[in-house]
Amino acid sequence: MIDDSPNSHLIIDYSVQDRGYARSIEMVKLQYSGTEGGLVCGMGIMNLILTRGEAGAYCPLDFRIYTKEIAAKVNAP
């Protein structure tokens, strides 16, 4: 159940999961990783999380695996 209290927030997190040894996975691409400070072979994952503003009070709502093909469709005129 979604709690729509004044302390609730939606968090959108984009991160690159390093998959340097998994080059045969189709969605693994060369991407910039802030954690590594450079380019890595990885998967871009976007998470949507709901938090009530209390420690441990969060609920993952959705996630997307981000690829170049999806970006081309979204950014196409």
Q: Does residue 2 belong to any structural domain of this protein? A: no
38 with 16: CB under 8 angstroms? no
Q: Does residue 49 belong to any structural domain of this protein? A: yes
Residues 6+ apart with CB under 8 A from 70: 64
Q: What is the residue range of 51's domain?
A: 9-75
pTM of this prediction exceeds 0.85: no
* Residue 62 or 68, more confident: 62
Domain count, the chain: 1
Q: Does residue 4 belong to any structural domain of this protein? A: no
- In tens, the pLDDT along 21-33 reads 766 777 788 888 8
Of the pLDDT bands very low, low, confident and very high (cuts 50, 70, 90), residue 56 is confident
* Residue 6 or 2, more confident: 6
* Gap between the Cα atoms of 23 and 35, Å rounded: 20
